[in-house]
Amino acid sequence: MPEKISFRLELERLQQDVISCTRCPRLVHYREKVAREKRRMYQDQEYWGRPLPSFGDPNAELLILGLAPAAHGGNRTGRMFTGDRSGDFLYRGLYEARFASQPESISRDDGLKLRGCYITASLRCVPPANKPTPEELRQCRPYLIRELQLLKRVRAVLALGRIAFDTYLRLIYEGLWPTPDSTERLVSKLPPRSALGFAHGACYALPGGLPRLFASYHPSQQNTQTGKLTPKMFQNVLREIRRYLRSPQRSS
Ligand code: SF4
């Protein structure tokens, strides 16, 4: 089978595995309960109510790593960051930075395409109060690792929020990130973990051919409504990423 087809099939298989996952009893119970009970304004809609597959361009150079689906956003619509305010903010920003074909993401069949960008999450099921347990994050990690093994063109990772930032670095520091460098050599070249602090706009070049790490505050309604994260602040991060991806010296 040609490599290109097999890689896309593998990615599709991975998403099917995600969708049928029941590893975390607490989250299975919660996502189904939310889907059954629904928010009043969505009573006439059928909720997705399952783990969320990733969304985007399989040839992406930019990987966006979020936290988890929202109860009445992704858990309702079945697409990452779709159907709520944080998604409105994110996709408008991606559209303005020319990573998305349209500024809105409303449903799985609204025609939206991402260009050079792929969105995934630290956790695929909605957690109660938006707070996953460390064990739930750990259970979901193998899906992200498999995804990273398949997305070979990724050169930049944008972590949305501290949990996503920590999820990404944990993979690297525990030697789980699939890198051309051997795990042992890579870990010995890494800076102390404490040197990589989370801050909006932070950017870290990492050794061993790893993608460059960018950080942004999460576009949660809490952050965007209070002005902690503004469209301009988010655009500045995307502009930096674009500049990096266009530069001839793209490796860390
Ligand atoms: S959070 Fe991840 S590991 Fe847990 S049930 Fe959902 S998809 Fe499975």
User: Which atom of ligand 1 is least distant from the CA of 23?
Assistant: 5
- Do 18 and 52 contact (CB within 8 A), yes or no? yes
Was domain 2-246 assigned CATH 3.40.190.100?
no
Note the pLDDT tens digit of each residue in 98-120: 999 999 999 999 999 999 999 99
Q: How far is the CA of 131 from the centre of ligand 1 (A)?
A: 14
For ligand 1, atom 3: residue with the closest CA:
140
Give the mean model confidence (pLDDT) for residues 88-94: 98
Model confidence pLDDT, tens digit, residues 220-240: 999 999 999 999 999 999 999
The answer, yes or no, to whether any atom of ligand 1 lies below 6 A from the CB of 123, is yes
At 173, which amino acid appears? Y
What does the DSSP 8-state code read for residue 205? -
Q: Is the CB of 67 under 6 A from ligand 1?
A: no
Token pair for residue 121? 């999450």
Binding site membership of 125 for ligand 1 (Cβ less than 6 Å): yes
Share of the chain above pLDDT 90, in %: 87
Nearest to 55 by CA among 42, 67, 64: 64
CB of 144 within 6 A of ligand 1: the answer is no
